[in-house]
Chains A and B, each alone.
Chain A
Amino acid sequence: MADVKIKNVIKRYGAVQVMHGVNVDIGHGEFVVLVGPSGCGKSTLLRMLAGLEEVSDGTISIGDRVVNDISPKERDIAMVFQSYALYPHKTVGENIGFPLRMAKRPKEEIDEKVRHAAGILDLTHLLDRYPKQLSGGQRQRVAMGRAIVRDPQVFLFDEPLSNLDAKLRVTMRVEIKELHQRLKTTIVYVTHDQIEAMTMADKIVVMRDGRVEQIGAPLDLYDRPGNVFVAGFIGSPSMNFLRGTIASTGGVKEFVSEAGLRLPVPPTAATEGQAVVYGIRPEHIGVGDNGTPVSVVVVEPTGSETQIFARAGTDLVNAVVKDRVRANPGQQIGFVIDPANVHLFDRQSEQRI
């Protein structure tokens, strides 16, 4: 167990700079999730933490040592690679037991731990197989197994559940969460999955193009995204954005979209005439007769909820409601918006107002 400090970390590959001064503080036993679009540098950051990639500038410390020049072997970390990185010539059992074997632990202890991990991961019947005889999901679980038999300072997971089916993913999610609660080991976890990020993280780090956009608790990011990018990235389906300006009628501020649609805004520091981006989450839109009139484009019932795509002025707006809504394409309905749920961003800087 240890805290991890990433200070002003820069990464260059030759002349190309892919990481531009990243700062993240990870506390003892914290579960930190890195999210961001493909190619934003999540794996690179993880590999630098592991010591597989050199840090071009800045420092990384684990516990109270700066580890920039310390080899992966001495960092005492366990990692699950995005590509699984199984040993092709070793059986599942040998793969899982490998770190223990390298640490020269007694054979009985290795067997016992491998068996236990295999039980958790539902791999018991596969222990004698070779990696090439496994499905993608099974390989991923073997890679997980190899990490969890250890008791490292830090766990690094690079999209460890991306190849599992929905059901197994939920089981594994709970399993990892449980593992974390039991061991209280610091975990850095990369994922593309919104639900994984929201449910597992103590802290989410949102990255884009080698920069940290925002760091915060999952609900903080959801409730108060710092900029348009984070607002659009966190939450699924993603937030609706409308472009327009702030107008004021009789002292009451209002949002006017480019197509002239008027929508309510919360009490805000935005000034009259300011060009803004108006954000509202699909799940915060209700359907009612006294709402803003919109014209239905598509209605998608999923059983538990209904997703409605409608045209508001010229913008396509997505709403998710709990009720079963029956509406035909082209029909006029009303979208009800509570101003308290509205997010306003400056159009120029894209920062939250």
Chain B
Amino acid sequence: MHPNKLGWLLLAPTMLILFLFGVVPFFYVIWVSFHQWNPFAADPSMIFNWASNYRQLVFDAQFMASLGVTLAFVFFAVLSELVIGYLLAQAFMKDFPGKAFFRTIHTLPLIMAPIIVGSIWKLMTTPSIGIIPSLLDSWFGYNLNIGQSAMAAFITTVVMDIWHWTPLVTLSLIAALVSLPADPFEQAQIDGANKRQIFWHITLPMIRPAIIATVFIRLMDAMRTVDEVLMLTGGGPGSATRYVGVHIFKEVFPRTNYGYGSAISVIVLYLTIVVCWLLYVGLIAPRNTKKG
């Protein structure tokens, strides 16, 4: 057999699976988003209604509010994860007693299912039984009640996301730091750079590819956070933590409004791409054009 044909043959199962479980549903969602479809309504048929789902979206104040809090959530969560992750990665680059142990412990949140993370945090933050409100009360006299305070709920979801995902950032930055060559750093010391200058001029640019990749992964992930938040706050109080994922969930499942839910999903996908593209333009492209 021609080696090329053999290659395709070997790839075929993967491609078939990808096609069945990736491409088909993707286009199906787009297809559905142009319909009015509520399978459990009196009229369960799909009615093609052009772009009216999308038109409706633009005027959906709840959706717009949900987008706003999502962007805030993503911004604060990913930025904090990046900063904390970097500091932890630097700490793990040094030798200290029990380093391997701490590194292992610190990655544990990563292997937990989001639904579990949500449950744990719900337990920990429930007033009068959770440890966090109890500690905050005894230390600062602060009364944490995420069922009542919108700000407290928002911050708690951000902190939960940081707790859950910072280890991922740490791990990928450790990998990047470990693979850095030593001599530019030695040269920079000789060239008279202090610690701060070395960070801005050498370390940061050299691990930039890893940072960008990590931010992209985290960003896309954070944009579609559902289960943890649903578990912890249920999107509330009010709609303070009704992030788009939660919004779609609440739109589709209790109301079985499939067409409208699909339209939201498509728009969110589109927005995610736009955000990534903006980041790309802001972070990667200037360097490439300078090079050219």
Contact = CB atoms under 8 A, between A and B. Distances in A.
B192 A102 contact: yes
Interface string B264-292: 00000000000000000000000000010
Interface in A6-62: 50-52
Nearest to B205: A89
Name the residue in A78, A79, A90, A102 with the highest tally of chain B Cβ atoms < 10 Å from its Cβ: A102
A102 B184 contact: no
Contact of B191 (A51, A88, A89, A99): A99
A102 B193 contact: yes
B291 A72 contact: no
B190 A72 contact: yes
B183 interface: yes
B191 A98 contact: yes
A130 interface: yes
B206 A85 contact: no
Contacts of A89: 205-206, 208
B291 A81 contact: no
Interface string B183-199: 11011111111100100
Contact of B184 (A50, A79, A85): A85
A103 interface: yes
Interface string B170-214: 000000000000011011111111100100011001101000000
Contacts of A73: 189-190, 192-194
Interface in B234-277: none
Contacts of A248: none
A51 to B, nearest CB: 8
A89 to B, nearest CB: 4
A71 interface: yes
A86 interface: yes
Contacts of A146: 187, 191
A72 B206 CA distance: 21
Interface string A261-275: 000000000000000
A130 B192 contact: no
B99 to A, nearest CB: 19
A229 interface: no
Nearest to A52: B186
B155 to A, nearest CB: 36
Contacts of A78: 190
A103 B197 CA distance: 10
Say whether chain B's binding surface is mostly helix, strand, loop, or mixed: helix
Given A87-B202, A89-B205, A81 B183 contact: yes
Interface string B149-186: 00000000000000000000000000000000001101
Contacts of A103: 192
A88 B206 contact: yes
Nearest to B197: A102
A80 B205 CA distance: 22
Interface residues of A, number: 23
B205 A79 contact: no
Nearest to A131: B184
A185 to B, nearest CB: 15
B194 A85 contact: no
A77 interface: yes
Nearest to B189: A72
A83 interface: yes
B191 A102 contact: yes
Contacts of A52: 186, 189-190
Interface in B104-123: none
B190 A77 contact: yes
Interface in A88-120: 88-90, 98-99, 102-103
A72 B191 CA distance: 9
Given A102-B197, A130-B291, A87 B190 contact: no
A331 B201 CA distance: 68
Contacts of A50: 186, 190
Given A87-B202, A89-B206, A130-B291, A81 B193 contact: no
A85 B186 contact: yes
B187 A85 contact: yes
Contacts of A85: 183-184, 186-187
Nearest to A103: B192
A146 B202 CA distance: 16
A71 B189 contact: yes
Nearest to A98: B191
A290 B209 CA distance: 75
A175 B237 CA distance: 74
A99 B188 CA distance: 8
Nearest to A84: B183
Nearest to B185: A85
A103 B190 CA distance: 12
A130 B288 CA distance: 11
Interface string A200-235: 000000000000000000000000000000000000
Contacts of B197: 102
Contacts of B193: 73, 98, 102
A21 B231 CA distance: 69
A130 to B, nearest CB: 6
Contacts of A86: 184, 187
Nearest to A82: B183
Contacts of B188: 87, 98, 102
B88 to A, nearest CB: 24
A179 to B, nearest CB: 18
A102 B187 CA distance: 12
Given A50-B186, A86-B187, 18 more contacts: A50-B190, A51-B189, A52-B189, A72-B190, A73-B190, A73-B192, A73-B194, A77-B190, A81-B187, A85-B186, A86-B184, A87-B188, A88-B206, A98-B193, A102-B191, A103-B192, A146-B187, A146-B191
13 contacts: A72-B189, A79-B187, A81-B183, A81-B186, A85-B187, A87-B187, A87-B188, A87-B201, A88-B184, A89-B206, A102-B188, A102-B194, A102-B197
